Amino acid sequence: MEQQISLAHGSGGQLTRELVEHVFVPKLKNDILSRLTDAAELAVPGSRLMFTTDSFVIKPLEFPGGDIGKLSVCGTINDLAVSGARPMWISCGLIIEEGFSFERLERIVDSIARTTADAGVAVVCGDTKVVEHGSADGLFINTAGIGVPIRDYRSAPIQPGDKILVSGTIGDHEAAIFRVRENLGRRMELASDCAALHGLVETMLAAAPNIRVMRDPTRGGIGAVLNELATGTACSFTIEDDLIPMCDEVRGICELVGFDPMYLANEGKLVCFVPAKQAESLLQAMRSHPLGANAAIIGEAVADSRERVYLQSRFGGSRIVIMPTGVQLPRIC
């Protein structure tokens, strides 16, 4: 059978990575793209710029804690933020399905306006296409963003002994979307964590300028991000499930339907690695920021050529967190 794109190719796991590495990078390769960072670093005379893009195809378009408009702004801001950049300018391209409600479109554009105003960024260019009924699912949004480095930050290789921090509870976004889609627990107060993280990152870099690397664990969750980060470091990561912040609702949903919270998407969280001696001061700085109130040190890097992610269970067992290999759910972000 001819090989075809399946949903798993878009899930942020193993197949997404293969698609990028086997199709896009070889055909489009250049020094900047091949680094496969969240944002591309562009050298322009006298300074550096960071540039990124992201597309959003979420269903439902509006959900507790946000909507596709807010998500599309925060998603691009966060790719810049975890690259150590202050977001400045954003582009916004909309693909709208024929028949889409005008009122709803305005509501979503208002949300984009609110989110960019709060974040101090400007939408400086845009595009709109309308496709026939059935050729898209309501509304798709692509955003791109340009930012400038904060404190001339550059990421550095992860070293054995580095501590791993996460900025708050994991899995809220995907669990919240799942709850709405499947109509679970109507009394549950679970909302997406959708938020712009550049303010938190500024606070973090002020407290710990030597943060090795930051990532936002969106599709594929912290499981995918940690596996990606382990590659090429000659380190394995050990994390403890007791230490990973998670709200009861997410835990409950995972128990109920058998999801692994390690792979659930987040839209307002980051994971970072920092030298051990700065970990505590970084943690305090994160906790002083509203978006990092539940931050925690969840584990550390250890020298190990296998480059794996190990999760120590509170019960005593240990397991390998492999790269996620398919969809837990169709189309979450």
Partner 1 sequence: MNFQEEFRNKDVARGLVAGIRNAIQSIPPVVLPVRLMEVCGSHTMAICRYGIRQLLPKPLRLLSGPGCPVCVTTGDYIDKAVALARIPGVVVTSFGDLFKVPGSTSSLEKERAGGAAVEVMFSPIEAVRIARDNPAKKVVFLGIGFETTIPAVAIAIKEAAGQGVENFSVLSGHKLMPPALRALAEGGTRVNGFICPGHVSTIIGMHPYEFIARDYRIGCVIAGFEPLDILQSIHMLLRQIKDGEPAVENQYTRLVRPEGNRAGQAMINEVFEPVDVAWRGLGVIPGSGLRIREQFAAHDTERTIEFAPEPTVEKPGCICGEILQGIKTPYDCPLFGKYCTPAGPVGPCMVSTEGCCAASYKYLEPMKR
Q: Which residues bind partner 1 (CB under 8 A)?
A: 1, 4-8, 14-15, 182, 251, 255, 257-258, 306, 308, 310, 313-320, 322-323, 325-326, 330
Q: How far is the CB of 219 from partner 1 (least distance, A)?
A: 16
Q: How far is the CB of 187 from partner 1 (least distance, A)?
A: 18
CA atoms within 13 A on the CB side of 46: 0
240 phi and psi angles, rounded to 5 deg: -115, 130
Q: How far is the CB of 148 from partner 1 (least distance, A)?
A: 39
For partner 1, the closer of residues 51 and 178 by Cβ is: 178
Cis peptide before 209 (omega within 30 of 0): no
At residue 103, the 3 state secondary structure works out as helix
Q: Give the C-alpha separation, 254 to 261, whole Å.
A: 6
For partner 1, the closer of residues 98 and 255 by Cβ is: 255
For partner 1, the closer of residues 2 and 189 by Cβ is: 2
Q: How far is the CB of 235 from partner 1 (least distance, A)?
A: 14
For partner 1, the closer of residues 6 and 288 by Cβ is: 6
For partner 1, the closer of residues 194 and 246 by Cβ is: 246
For partner 1, the closer of residues 8 and 88 by Cβ is: 8
Number of H helices and E strands in the chain, helices first, is 9, 14
Contact 227, 325 (CB under 8 A): no
Q: How far is the CB of 25 from partner 1 (least distance, A)?
A: 19
Q: How far is the CB of 207 from partner 1 (least distance, A)?
A: 33
For partner 1, the closer of residues 118 and 260 by Cβ is: 260
For partner 1, the closer of residues 112 and 323 by Cβ is: 323
Which token pair is 178? 């799942």
CA atoms within 13 A on the CB side of 3: 5
- Count other C-beta atoms under 10 Å from residue 88's C-beta: 16
Q: How far is the CB of 2 from partner 1 (least distance, A)?
A: 8
Q: How far is the CB of 37 from partner 1 (least distance, A)?
A: 24
204 to 67, 177, 239: CA distances (angstroms): 27, 29, 21
Output the CA torsion sign for 39, 152, 168, 14: positive
Q: Give the C-alpha separation, 299 to 229, whole Å.
A: 14
Tell me, letter by letter, the H, E, C secondary structure of 24-90.
HHHHHCCCCHHHCCCCEEEEECCEEEEEEEEEECCCCCEECCEEHHHHHHHHHHHHHHCCCEEEEEE
Q: How far is the CB of 71 from partner 1 (least distance, A)?
A: 23
For partner 1, the closer of residues 5 and 44 by Cβ is: 5
Question: 56: left (phi > 0), else alpha (psi -120 to 50), else beta?
Answer: beta
Q: Give the C-alpha separation, 154 to 164, whole Å.
A: 18
CA angle 36-39-43, nearest 5°?
100
